[in-house]
Homo-oligomer: A and B are copies of this chain.
Amino acid sequence: MEYKYARRMSEIKASEIRELLKLTEKPEVISFAGGLPAPELFPIEEIRAVNNYVLDRCGEQALQYTTTEGWQPLRKWIAERMNTQLGTSFCDENIMITHGSQQALDLSGKVFLDEGDVVLCESPTYLAAISAFKAYGCRFVEIDTDDEGMIPASLEKALKEYPAAKLIYIIPNFQNPTGKTWSLERRKQAAELSAKYRVAVIEDNPYGELRYEGDFLPSVKSFDRSGSVICTGTFSKIFCPGYRIGWIAGDAEVIRKYVLVKQGADLQCNTIAQIVISAYLEQYDIDAHIDKIREVYRRRRDTAIEAITRYFPSDTLFTRPEGGLFLWVELNEAINTTELLERCIAENVAFVPGYSFFPNKCRLNTLRINFSNTPEEKIEEGLARIGHVLKQAGFQ
């Protein structure tokens, strides 16, 4: 049958890149493409113990339906953690558990976006945020972004030019895909502009805990006096992604709206996953666990930086992120990284071409490297392979 799809489906297409990257699932390929954490660091033994503890103590509750808002002790822990780490002042009422922080983005689209509305975003920005918001028929306006974050003058210009703007979407810590971190001053300015123009900010923070050097910075939310900033977070990068537990945090009024749309979307998150994570946080030292992750990822980042310096052409520009999972590479303007990817796949090495991260503009000579999911010796070898392909193509 010829299905009568919704209009949005003409915008939601299978990504060519995703098809290309399916070729990289063979074990001989060194892939810098995904955004996967290192599975060898998952606390499997602890999770096993906590699972048994939860099933023994409250198995019936853990396997039954629960509230849409989510498991109260977990929401309380998240509020307190954010208050300590990010300078917010949340309590459990400000938190709703989501199915990964990806769902927090999808529900943000549902709560705020009508067809034709404008989302202001960094340039480049997170690929799957583009997909999430696009499903609501929005347009994207990319704000000029430098090493300290969105440039306030550009943001203000866009806010004036697009009064239909509904959301400002930002990732201030170790941004995906660039690895860049916003300065303190820019955080303050973003909060001020959001309040002045009454446009909500979605402050996405999946990587904030993974800082390898420098000081932790307060969130944009910590400078928010009007309630316009809404935050997301996730256990995917500090615990494990398989449980799909993230959250959305904001003023109680707006969180009540998220609860209403989540009821229609999927009723609630996995009950046992929420209780297991909550019990883990009670019984184990998550800070010690995060320290372990930081140490491994810091070494992997350093290895990636050294290898790019050594093997890539001398005119290569790249970021040196203070944390997170990614670094961003800008090659000679003559290079199209999608063509480069095809050649690299033939040499059993993969990355994501940068163009996927620009909703409108196109920077064909950029690419994203994930360093969290590959052991150091393979990082060295994989980047050397890319360097070799570049050299063969005549770039030194």
Contacts and interface: CB of A to CB of B under 8 A. Distances in A.
Interface of A: 1-9, 12-14, 34, 36-37, 39-40, 42, 44, 47-48, 51-52, 55-56, 59-66, 99-100, 102-103, 106, 110-115, 117, 128, 131-132, 134-136, 166, 195, 198-200, 226-228, 240-244, 251, 253-254, 256-257, 260-261, 263-273
Nearest to A44: B59
| Copy total for this chain | 2
A65 B47 contact: no
Contacts of A55: 44, 47-48, 51
Given A3-B200, A227-B1, A263 B60 contact: no
Contacts of A66: 242
Contacts of A128: 263-264, 267
26 contacts: A1-B195, A1-B226, A1-B251, A6-B136, A9-B261, A36-B65, A37-B64, A39-B60, A39-B61, A42-B63, A42-B64, A48-B52, A52-B52, A62-B242, A63-B240, A63-B241, A63-B242, A66-B242, A100-B266, A102-B266, A102-B267, A106-B266, A115-B115, A131-B264, A134-B264, A135-B261
B270 A244 contact: yes
A52 B273 CA distance: 15
Contacts of A37: 64
Contact of A132 (B7, B44, B103, B264): B264
